[in-house]
Amino acid sequence: MIPKQRRFAGLMLAGIVLSGAIASCASSDRSDKAIKLTLVSYAVTQSAYEQIIPQFVEEWEEKTGQTVEFAQSYGGSGSQTRAVIDGLEADVVALALALDTQKIVEAGLIEAGWEEELPNDSIVHKSVAAIVTRDDKLKLNNWADLARDDVQVITANPKTSGGARWNFLAFWGSVTQAGGSEQQAANFVAKVLKNVPVLPKDARESSDVFYKQGQGNVLINYENEVILANKKGEKLPYFVPTDYNISIDNPVAVVDANVDKHGTREVAEAFVQYLYTPAAQREFAKVGFRPVNETVAAEFSAQYPRIDKLFTAKDLGGWQQIQTKFFDDGAVFDKLLAEVGK
Amino acid sequence: MLRNKLVLIVVALSYLFLVLFIPASTVFYEAFHRGINAFVAATTSREFLQAVKMTIIIAAIAVPLNTFFGLCAAWVIARNQFRGRALLISIIDLPFSVSPVVAGLMLILLYGRNGWFGNWLEIAGIKVIFALPGMVIATLFVTLPFVAREVIPVLEEMGSEQEEAARTLGASDWQIFWRVILPNIRWGLLYGVLLTNARAMGEFGAIAVVSGGIIGKTATLPIFVEQAYKNYQTEAAFGAAVCLGLLAAVTLILKEILERRTAIASK
Amino acid sequence: MNQITLHQFQPRKSQKWWTKISLPWTVTVSYLSLILLLPIAALISKSLTLENAEFWQIASSPIALSAYEVTFITALIASLINGVMGTLVAWVLIRYEFPGRKIIDAAVDLPFALPTSVAGLALATAYSDKGLIGQFFAPFGIKIAFTRLGIFVAMLLISLPFVVRTLQPVLQEMERELEEAAWSLGASQLQTFWRVILPPLIPPILTGIALGFSRAVGEYGSVVLVAANIPFQDLIAPVLVFQKLEQYDYAGATVIGTVMLLLSLVLLLGINFLQQWGRRYAQK
C-alpha cells in the first residue's frame, strides 16, 4: 500500500514541479537590458497605441540609448481598473473616464492630484456623443427627438459600460444644461429608456447589435467609435448634436506605486508626456478621437463638427456625485429603468 | 424498424442543426468570407501564436491534474456508500453553476493584492494572479467536475464484481486499476478528458478576470478573440475561434485512435 | 499547491491514522478543499462582511429576485429539454451508422471549445430577425434573439454536450444481449425500451441534466450577447453580478454570487438524490 501511495504522490509532485517550472519559464523574459513598461487601457484605444508605441520606443532609444519593451492590455475600462487595483502592475493607465482613475487613487496606487501632473488636466483625448440612424428616412435633428415614438434606441448599459455613462449624461445634460429642471430631465430620459429594446454590455457590442444584428433604428455611441466603425465599412448616416453635447474626456495617469516599485518613473512620465506631442495626437485623431493639441485639432477640424455648448462631467457635479446620484444601486438610472421596465 | 431509425436520425440531426451547426457556421463564414488570406495573416501573427502557446500550456497542466483528481473522486463516490454522498457529488458539480466571472472573483479574493494570501505572495515574490499560476488555477476550477462526472456513471454501471474477483485472485490495487478498472471505464474517462480539454481551451470569463490580458504574454486564445474583435479585426477574431474549434478536435483524433486500437485488441 | 504535497509526505515520518485512509480519499478531499472549497469560502466570507440586514436587502431586491427567476427557470427548462434531445442524439450517434456521423460526433464538443462570447455572437447572428433561423420565426411575430427565448436557446447550446457525453460511454458499454433477449422473448419495441433500455440510462441522463443545468445557471458570456439585458425582462443573475463588479461593488457582487451558489447547491442536491434513488430502483 504505502510504496504505491508514494509513487502516486511522487507523480503528483512531479506534475506540480513541472507546472511550476513551466510557469517560471513563461514569466521570465530573455532580454534583461530592456526596460519594461506596462500600459493598461480600454478597448478602442488599441489601434492608436499600436502606432504610437513604436514611435516612442524609437525616440526614447535615440535620446537615452535604452530599449523600452511595452506590455499592453486592453479591455473594458471598469474591468481594467479592477485588474490594476487587484494587482495588475500597470505603469501607465489610460482609462475611459476619470471615475475609474479615481478608484485607483482610492486604492492607494496613484497619488492624489494626478490631474495636475499633465497638460489639460491629464485629459489626453476627447470625444462627444454621436447619433447613428438606420436610414435617411428617419429624420432626427436633436436630442429631444430620441423620445419620439418611432425611434428605437440602442445604447450600452451604463452599469457595465463607461461609454454608456457618458451617453446617459448627454441625455440628461441636454435638458438641464438648456435650462430644464431635473424633473424634466428625468421625464425625458425615461421616455428615451422606454424606446430602448436592448441594453448591450459595452460600446462595441452596442455597435454590433445595431449594425450586424439590425436591432433598433438609432444608435448612440462615442463619436470615435462611430468614426472607427465607418472606417471599418459600417457606413450608415450619423450626426453629432451640436447644440448641446457632452465632452467625453479620457484621462491618462502614471501609477505611482508601480513605477516606484519597478524603477520606471522616468520613462513612464516621458511616455505620457509623449502622448501630448503632435505626432501622438495625430494617431489618436486618425482613429476618431478629438485631439487636445490645438494644432492637430485644426488639421482634423473637418472631421469634427463644432459643438456650441459643450458640457463636462464637472458641470453635472463631478464624477463622485454623478456616480452616487445616477448609477449606484437604486439611484436615478435604476429608478427610471424600473419605471419603464414594468 | 428502418422507418423508426430514419425518424430518430432526422429528429436528432435537425435539433443539432438548429441549436448548434447553423449558429456555428456563422463563425466559419465570418472567418473565411473575405478569403483565406485574411485568415492566414491573422493566424500567423506573433500575438496569435503566443496566445496559442499559452492556451496549450494551460491545458497541458490542467487536464492531467484534473484527470487524476477525477479518477480518485469517481472511485471514492462509486465504490463507497457513505453519508453525504449526494452532497459530495453536488459539491463537485458546483464549479459549473458558478458564473465564470464569479470564479475569477473568488481567486482575486484569495490571491489578489488585497486578498487573503496577497501579502504573503507579495513578500515571497510569487505572482499568482495576472500570471500563469492564476490562470491554471482558474482553469482547474472551471473544469473540475468533468472527469469525475463522466467516470462515475460508468463505474456504477460496471459494478464491483470484477474487481472483487481480481482481488481474491491476489491482484494488487495497482494491477486491478490497470487491468480491470481502466479498460472498463475507458470511454467515460475519454469523454471526460475530451470535455475537460475543450473547456480548458475555450474558457474565457474566469481567465479574463485573472489574466490581465497582456498581449503576447498572458493572453489566451479566447482573450485574443475578444481583443481582436473589440479592435474591429473581425477576421482575426473569428479565425482564432475556428482554430479553437480545431484544437479541440485534436483530442477527437485521439479518441479515434483509441477506438481503432480497442477494436483490434478485442478481435 | 504545496499543501497537497505536505499532506502526502508526512506519513513517512509518523505512521498515524491517516495512513489508513486510502489514496483516492486523500486526493479527493485535499484537492477539493484547495481548488474548490477555499475559493468558495473566500466568496462567502466576503459577502458576510456586510450586515445581515444589508445582505438580505441586496439578496432580495426586486431586480435580484427577477434575475434569479429568469436564470433558474430558463436553465431548468433548457436542461430538461436537453435531457430528452441529448438522449436521442447520443442514441443516434452510438447505435446508427450514417454518412457524416463521425464529424457530427466531433462537433458536439464545439459549445465548449468555442469561447462563450463567440457562441453568443453566433447565436445572435443566426437567431436575430434577419438571421438564418430567426427569419423563419419573425413573420409569426416570434422574436428569439434579444428576448428570453434567446437566453433559452443559448442555454440549450451550452448545455447540449453534457447529456450526450455522459450517455455515450454508458450506451457504448451497455450489452445489447439484454435487448436482444427481451426481443426474442417477445417483448414489443415499446416494452423493450421502457423496461430494458431506459432504466440503466436514467442515472447518466440525470447526471447530464444536473451538469447542463448548473452550467446554464452560471453561463454569462453567450447569454449577455443574445439577451436584451433589460431588468425585470431578461436580465440574468450572472449579468447582475458583473454589473455590480463594474460598479466596484465587490460585496454586492459576492452576495448575489453566494445566493446563486446556495440555490444551485440545493437544486443539485435534489437532482443527485433523485439520481441515487433512481439507481437503487433500477438495480431492484
Q: Using a CB-CB distance cutoff of 8 angstroms, which residues of chain A are in contact with residue B113? A: 85-87
Q: Say how many CB pairs under 8 Å bridge B and C.
A: 287
Q: Using a CB-CB distance cutoff of 8 angstroms, which residues of chain A are in contact with residue B132? A: 22-23, 26-27
Q: Using a CB-CB distance cutoff of 8 angstroms, which residues of chain C are in contact with residue A214? A: 128-130
Please give the residue that has the higher pLDDT: either B243 or B255.
Answer: B243
User: Cβ of B23 and C122 within 8 Å?
Assistant: yes
Q: What integer pLDDT is reported at residue C173 of this predicted model?
A: 77
User: Cβ of B231 and A71 within 8 Å?
Assistant: no
Closest CA to A76 of A100, A52, A92: A100
Q: What integer pLDDT is reported at residue A276 of this predicted model?
A: 96
Which residues numbered 12-51 in B keep a CB inside 8 Å of some CB on C? 12-13, 15-16, 18-27
C-alpha cell at B74: 469517481
Residue A175 CB neighbour total at 10 angstroms: 21
CA distance A244 to A242: 6
Closest CA to B135 of B195, B192, B204: B204
Q: What integer pLDDT is reported at residue A173 of this predicted model?
A: 94
CA distance A262 to C135: 56
What are the φ/ψ torsions at residue C231 (nearest 5 degrees)?
-55, 145
Q: What integer pLDDT is reported at residue C3 of this predicted model?
A: 43
What angle do the packed helices B46-79 and B132-143 form, to 10 degrees? 40
- In eight-state DSSP terms, residue A302 is T
Q: What integer pLDDT is reported at residue A14 of this predicted model?
A: 52
The answer, yes or no, to whether residue A30 has pLDDT greater than 50, is no
CA distance A189 to A165: 13
pLDDT in tens, C9-44: 444 444 444 444 688 888 999 999 999 999 999 999
Share of chain A above pLDDT 90, in %: 71
Cα of A191 to nearest chain C Cα, Å: 15
C-alpha cell at B24: 456555428
Residues 6+ apart with CB under 8 A from B260: none
Cα of B93 to nearest chain A Cα, Å: 23
What are the pLDDT tens digits along chain C (284 aa)? 444 444 444 444 444 444 446 888 889 999 999 999 999 999 999 999 999 999 999 999 999 999 999 999 999 999 999 999 999 999 999 988 888 888 888 888 888 888 888 899 899 989 998 888 999 999 999 999 999 999 999 999 999 999 998 898 888 877 777 777 877 888 787 888 888 888 888 888 998 998 899 999 999 989 998 999 988 889 999 999 998 988 888 899 999 999 999 999 998 899 888 887 877 766 65
Neighbouring chains of C at 3+ CB pairs under 8 Å are A, B
pLDDT in tens, A33-75: 789 999 999 988 998 999 999 999 999 999 999 999 999 999 8
Of B15, B92, B156, the CB nearest to C85: B15
Give the confidence band of B266 by pLDDT, cuts at 50, 70, 90.
low
Cβ–Cβ under 8 Å, residues C219 and C158: yes
Residues 6+ apart with CB under 8 A from A239: A130, A131, A133, A140
User: Cβ of A199 and C246 within 8 Å?
Assistant: no
Q: Using a CB-CB distance cutoff of 8 angstroms, which residues of chain C are in contact with residue A9? A: 5, 8-9
User: Cβ of C42 and B93 within 8 Å?
Assistant: no
- In eight-state DSSP terms, residue A306 is P
Closest CA to C210 of B190, B20, B86, B106: B86
Give the strands of the sheet with A218-222, arranged side by side.
A153-154, A218-222, A129-133, A238-239
CA distance A189 to A273: 39
C-alpha cell at A300: 482634423
C-alpha cell at A9: 504522490
Q: What integer pLDDT is reported at residue C240 of this predicted model?
A: 92
Q: What integer pLDDT is reported at residue C283 of this predicted model?
A: 62
pLDDT in tens, B32-60: 888 788 788 888 888 899 999 999 999 99
pTM of the model: 0.87
pLDDT in tens, A210-240: 998 889 999 999 999 899 888 888 888 999 9
pLDDT in tens, B156-184: 888 888 888 988 998 888 888 888 888 88
> For the residues A115-140, what does the mean pLDDT come to?
92
Handedness of CA C112, C115, C118, C124 (dihedral sign): positive
Q: What integer pLDDT is reported at residue A28 of this predicted model?
A: 44
Q: How is C132-182 classified by DSSP, letter by letter?
A: TTHHHHGGGT---TTSHHHHHHHHHHHHHHHHHHHHHHHHHHS-HHHHHHH
Please give the residue that has the higher pLDDT: either B257 or A307.
Answer: A307
pLDDT in tens, B120-162: 998 898 899 999 999 999 999 999 999 998 899 888 888 888 8
The percent of chain C in helix, strand and coil, each rounded to the nearest 5, is: 80, 0, 20
The answer, yes or no, to whether residue B69 has pLDDT greater than 90, is yes
CA distance A292 to A310: 14
